[in-house]
């Protein structure tokens, strides 16, 4: 799509030209993309004739169109959940052992558990944490018992400023644009911005918890993220008389 993948924006590669490496997603763009992806997963899990499990959700499989709307792509590992069975196509028989990408695949898959929509929720939780911290789950710093989940968990709720993507702390949008907020160390005190950031991190942590039964349903994720977005926009709307 026109704006490439979420991976391109979160982690610009060395091979990109200067204009591409300089681009980045502001906080509200990231939140909107997170909501877009949540809507897509909710559709796959609950609104198709039979539930579809994507099995490989990660930044490179989220594409951004010309309006910066996020779309889930690459259904090469996707499975159709029909009743109590997972339907595999004949051509897919050689990839039955593949259960996603390291860092994004849920831990139960590594122990031989059946694929489930809860597995996609785990991947979504990791994706959400990565979007706000700028840290891949496979970062070299996450070893010897430390993971992206633990990295975030230990920083809640009074040290969020230490784990948020530094790019977001440099945001400075002027001109009264209703679609943006400024994130910096000065306004990340005990205000609404800090509360909302903590809430989003908590959603990511709950989605990526080790126990599948404790993960959030994507419908609940959508409701919570949309509520957070409305809360952040509300003061600006009142200020502008909207």
45-71 average pLDDT score? 96
**Closest by CA position to 154, among listed 120, 194, 122, 201:** 201
Strand partners, 62: 72
Q: What is the pLDDT of residues 17-48, one digit of tens each?
A: 655 556 789 999 999 999 999 999 999 999 99
With 0-12 CB in 10 A as exposed, 13-18 as middle and 19+ as buried, what is 131?
buried
Residues whose CB is less than 8 angstroms from the CB of residue 210 and which lie 6 or more positions away in sequence, other chains included: 107
**Closest by CA position to 117, among listed 78, 157, 149:** 78
What predicted TM-score, i.e. pTM, was given to this entire model?
A: 0.86
d(CA 180, CA 197): 14
**Which CA distances in Å does 41 have to 14, 57, 128, 142, 220?**
31, 10, 13, 27, 12
Least confident of 54-68, 134-148, 156-170: 156-170
The CA-CA-CA angle for residues 36, 160, 70, to 5°, reads 10
**How are beta strands 70-72 and 79-82 bridged, if at all?**
unpaired
d(CA 86, CA 34): 27
What's the pLDDT band for 89 if we cut at 50, 70, 90?
Answer: very low
Question: Hey, what domains does the chain have and what are their CATH numbers?
Answer: 6-239 (1.10.510.10)
Give the residue numbers annotated as catalytic, written as ranges.
Answer: 56
What's the pLDDT band for 145 if we cut at 50, 70, 90?
Answer: confident
Q: What is the pLDDT of residues 205-215, one digit of tens each?
A: 999 999 999 99
Q: What is the pLDDT of residues 170-195, one digit of tens each?
A: 765 433 343 445 566 655 555 788 88
């Amino acid at each position: 799509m026109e704006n490439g993948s979420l991976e391109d924006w979160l982690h610009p590669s060395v091979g990109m030209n200067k204009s591409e490496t300089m681009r980045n997603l502001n906080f509200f763009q990231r939140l909107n993309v997170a909501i877009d992806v949540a809507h897509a997963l909710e559709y796959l899990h609950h609104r198709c004739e039979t539930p579809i499990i994507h099995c490989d959700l990660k930044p490179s499989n989220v594409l951004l169109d010309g309006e910066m709307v996020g779309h889930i792509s690459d259904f090469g590992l996707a499975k159709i959940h029909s009743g109590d069975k997972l339907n595999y196509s004949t051509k897919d028989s050689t990839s039955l052992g593949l259960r996603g990408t390291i860092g994004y695949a849920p831990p139960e898959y590594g122990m031989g558990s059946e694929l489930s929509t809860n597995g996609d929720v785990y991947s979504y939780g990791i994706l959400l944490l990565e979007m706000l911290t700028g840290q891949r789950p496979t970062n070299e710093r996450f070893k010897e018992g430390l993971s992206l989940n633990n990295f975030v968990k230990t920083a809640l709720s009074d040290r969020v400023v230490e784990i948020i993507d530094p790019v977001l702390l440099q945001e400075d949008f002027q001109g009264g644009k209703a679609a943006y907020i400024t994130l910096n160390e000065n306004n990340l005190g005990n205000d609404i911005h800090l509360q909302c950031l903590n809430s989003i991190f908590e959603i990511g942590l709950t989605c990526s918890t080790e126990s599948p039964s404790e993960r959030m349903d994507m419908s609940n994720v959508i409701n919570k993220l949309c509520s957070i977005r409305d809360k952040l926009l509300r003061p600006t709307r009142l200020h502008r008389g909207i």
